[in-house]
Structure 1
Amino acid sequence: MAIEAVVAFFHAPHVLTALALIVALLAVWLTVRTRRRLRVAETRLRELRHAQQGLDTAVLALHGAIKAVAEEVIDQSQHQSSVRRALDRLADQHSELRLRSVDEGLYVQAIELIRLGRGRNEVRQLCGLTHAEVDLLFSLHGASVARTPVASDMA
């Protein structure tokens, strides 16, 4: 009997109407709540899209800056290589000039010794020249000096 009473109670028109009203209110409340959450989610999505656009712009700007820096580094590297080659050429030229001045100084000294009548061995030892260099200098500048070997040449 108790079950029949409960079933009869729920079949009563005023209870069914009340239940329908509660279900309708619950549906309205859920709809309002869902729409509110949807608006919040849409607002957040717009904010995120705006932020994403800002980040995309920043990434593009950063990419451009990195490219510019890379090009500058390449240019500086090429310039540095050019400067290094120029310095190497200057160092080579300086070495050549220094060697020439040393050689020319030795040759000038040797020619003076030849004109003073010094022997071949003495000129070679004093100036640090090879036999061929001394022979050449004597053939060019020793015309005024007697061709007979000096005693020091025999040693």
Structure 2
Amino acid sequence: MWFEPAFILAAIALVVGIVALFVAWSMWRQSQRKLEAMSRLMRELTRTRDSYRKQIEELQAASIGIGNKVGELYRQQDKLSEQHQELALKDPQGKLYSRATRMVQLGADIDEIMAECEMPRAEAELLITLHRQ
């Protein structure tokens, strides 16, 4: 009975089945471990992506704030330029003093300053005293 061909074939089939089942189970376990590792990696990548997204949003908000501040500074600069031009037009005497100051810095003497800027000697002397120190 033990040596009958049908029994031997059944035993071989049983052993092959058990081996196949064990190999399939091992492969399934390995696949499960890989799947778990990939799931952990995916969660970590999601956290990293979310962190980067938050940083980008913060940078965008800061950039908008800086852009608004730069725009405000340009408006203030334009306003100050207009005020400066208005003052220059309203104060022709200031132009003469600016010109006289430049002449002093370039080394002009008192007579040149008085003649070019139409100012009295006392004012010319004062400018020379102030700006040649």
Question: Structure 2 length normalisation: TM-score?
Answer: 0.67
2:48 counterpart of 1:48: no
Q: Which has more radius of gyration?
A: 1
Aligned to 2:82: 92
Structure-2 separation of matches of 1:87 and 1:58 = 43
Which of 45, 53, 61 is the aligned partner of 2:51?
Answer: 61
- How do 1:18-33 and structure 2 match up within 5 A? 18-33=8-23
Is the partner of 2:91 in helix, strand or coil?
A: helix
Count of residues in Structure 1 that have an aligned counterpart in Structure 2: 94
Q: For 1:1-150, what aligned pairs fall within 5 Å after superposition?
A: 14-102=4-92
Mapped to 2, the partners of 1:51 and 1:63 lie a distance apart of 18
Cα distance, 1:32–1:104 mapped onto 2, change above 3 Å: closer
> Unpaired segments of 5 or more residues in structure 1?
1-12, 107-155
Question: Percent of pairs identical after alignment?
Answer: 18
Aligned to 2:104: none
Partner of 1:54, secondary structure, is: helix
Hey, which bits of structure 1, 4+ residues long, moved more than 2 A? 102-106
Letter in 2 for 1:53: R
Q: Which has the higher contact order (CA 8 A, sep 6+)?
A: 1
**Cα distance, 1:19–1:97 mapped onto 2, change above 3 Å:** same
Q: Unaligned regions of 5+ residues in structure 2, if any?
A: 97-133
> Equivalent residue of 1:49, what SS?
helix
TM-score, structure 1 normalization: 0.57
Amino acid at match of 2:76: A
